[in-house]
């Protein structure tokens, strides 16, 4: 709870007393809560494995915390052989985090999959769909418009009909 709410002083005190906390859960909660100072502290005081950190990058994309994503990516590139997945951009698109999608596109080479467009349509994130359509190689699939319609996103359906049919 101290991590999620940003109580760095309490976390630091417990750490100095030898209190063991689940480091990977702590990182996930700090990312979820947008606690940049906690993420910095965790990166400075602990070591991490490649596999779990790829998941934490996905958490940054899911919650839309661009500054934490930048921080984690920089640290992981310097300290680990981090391999992100295209799922990371797909996740950001699903949750409507356009600035995260743009940053990943500009700073990572993994790109996205055609699921990014479908998942953004299902969630009604028209700005993300438009950006993906005009910027990325991934285009609308035949079922993209159905995903938007299925979830009642009329403006998205209209745009997809005009641009992807």
Residue 118, in any domain of the structure:
no
Residue 153, in any domain of the structure:
no
Distant-in-sequence, close-in-space partners of 35: CB < 8 Å, separation ≥ 6: 3, 4, 5, 6, 29
Q: How many residues does the chain have?
A: 165
Residue 156, in any domain of the structure:
no
Residue 122, in any domain of the structure:
no
The more confidently predicted of residues 67 and 15 is 67
Position 82 scores a pLDDT of 65
As to burial, measured by CB atoms within 10 angstroms (0-12 exposed, 13-18 middle, 19+ buried), residue 146 is middle
Residue 21, in any domain of the structure:
yes
Residue 113, in any domain of the structure:
no
Q: What percent of the chain has pLDDT over 70?
A: 94
Which CATH number do you get for residue 41? 1.25.40.20
- Number of domain units in the chain: 1
Residue 135, in any domain of the structure:
no
pLDDT at 58 over 70: yes
Residue 92, in any domain of the structure:
no
Distance CA 34, CA 28 (A): 10
pLDDT at 41 over 70: yes
For the chain, what is the mean pLDDT? Answer: 88
Tell me if 104 sits within 8 A of 88, measured CB to CB: yes
Residue range(s) defining the domain that contains residue 36 = 1-83
Position 96 scores a pLDDT of 98
Q: What is the pLDDT of residues 60-110, one digit of tens each?
A: 999 999 999 999 988 888 887 766 677 899 999 999 999 999 999 999 888
Position 136 scores a pLDDT of 87
């Amino acid at each position: 709870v101290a991590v999620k709410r940003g109580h760095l002083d309490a976390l630091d005190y417990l750490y100095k007393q030898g209190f063991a906390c689940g480091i990977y859960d702590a990182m996930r909660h700090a990312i979820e809560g947008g606690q940049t100072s906690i993420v910095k502290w965790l990166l400075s005081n602990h070591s991490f494995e490649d596999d779990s950190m790829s998941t934490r990058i996905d958490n940054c994309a899911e919650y839309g915390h661009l500054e934490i994503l930048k921080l984690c990516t920089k640290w992981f590139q310097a300290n680990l052989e981090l391999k992100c997945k295209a799922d990371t951009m797909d996740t950001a698109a699903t949750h409507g985090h356009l600035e995260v999608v743009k940053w990943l596109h500009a700073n990572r080479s993994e790109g996205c999959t055609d699921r990014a467009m479908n998942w953004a349509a299902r969630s009604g994130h028209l700005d993300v769909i438009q950006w993906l359509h005009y910027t990325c190689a991934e285009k609308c699939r035949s079922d993209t418009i159905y995903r938007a319609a299925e979830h009642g996103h009329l403006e998205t359906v209209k745009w997809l009909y005009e641009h992807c049919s």
